[in-house]
Amino acid sequence: MNTLPRLALLVAVGLMAAVLLALAWPRVLASVRYLPVEHALDRYYADNEIPSDRLKVLIRFAEEAIDRQDHYRFHDGLSQLQYLRGLDVRTPAGERRAAYRAAADAAAASLRQAPAQPAAWLRLATLRWILHDEPETIVGAWKMSIFTGRTHSSLYAHRVEMGLAQRAALDDEGAAMLRDQLLLAWRIRPGSLVQVLARRDPGLRIVGGLLTDTDPVALREMEDWLERLR
């Protein structure tokens, strides 16, 4: 191969590499900025301690990551952080509603990009519940959590709690979904479910209406377990 064509090939390869690097660089910078957020959330779910002293800084890091790359994962992380800020007892009472609203907005932004996130849908439903949004918007997000991950076992108990709280707004489809999640939770996470029932439906009035005709055995077992707690 002559020198000139070889040089032209090297230049072309170099230019292509430079273009690819330029395209990838914002993503690299965004991922680096987001690393502390990821680490902090992992720690929270491991020890259940809200990083109160770091929340504002972590929220800024997540926002900077989004500025560099508009990615659903970064929006979801921002939603989780804002939610924790709303829950944090050290957050001034006057700032909590704004934190919950920001968490809901970030969750919605994440779900627009990647709808198959059952935990994010359930968080959105929870935030709308906290914010006293219209029942249909709460139930819609709750249903989407089930549609996108029906057998996501870590979400069963909270889905049941949300469904019981919104029972008056559930249509026939929603009632069937609540019954399904009740039975799945009873089989897989009975201890967590019973705690929810003790808070939300201690007399099993709602649950009885759902299970009396279809699953009386499961209903009697729930009644016995609740009776032992009293």
Q: What is the mean pLDDT of residues 54-64?
A: 96
pLDDT of residue 50: 87
Residue 220 inside a domain? The answer is yes
Residues 134 and 45 in one domain: no
Kindly report the average pLDDT of the chain as a whole number.
Answer: 91
pLDDT of residue 98: 98
Residues 107 and 122 in one domain: no
pLDDT of residue 29: 74
pLDDT at 78 over 80: yes
pLDDT at 14 over 80: no
Residue 159 inside a domain? The answer is yes
Residue 13 inside a domain? The answer is no
% of the chain beyond a pLDDT of 90: 81
pLDDT of residue 30: 79
Total of domains in the chain:
2
Q: Single out the residue in 114, 149, 182 at which a domain terminates.
A: 114
Higher pLDDT, 15 or 171: 171
- Least confidently predicted of 11-25, 53-67, 100-114, 173-187: 11-25
The confidence band for 22, taking pLDDT boundaries of 50, 70 and 90, is low
pLDDT at 97 over 90: yes
Q: Single out the residue in 83, 114, 145 at which a domain terminates.
A: 114
Residue 184 belongs to domain with CATH number: 1.25.40
pLDDT of residue 27: 67
pLDDT at 25 over 50: no
pLDDT at 134 over 70: yes
% of the chain beyond a pLDDT of 70: 88
Question: 17 Cβ partners below 8 Å, 6+ apart?
Answer: none
Residues 44 and 152 in one domain: no
Give the CA distances from residue 89 to residues 43, 51, 94, 102, 107, in Å, rounded to whole numbers and listed in that order.
Answer: 19, 11, 12, 17, 22
Residues 109 and 138 in one domain: no
pLDDT at 5 over 80: no
Q: What is the mean pLDDT of residues 79-106?
A: 97
Residues 207 and 224 in one domain: yes
Domain, as residue range, for 36: 18-114
Q: What is the mean pLDDT of residues 53-72?
A: 95
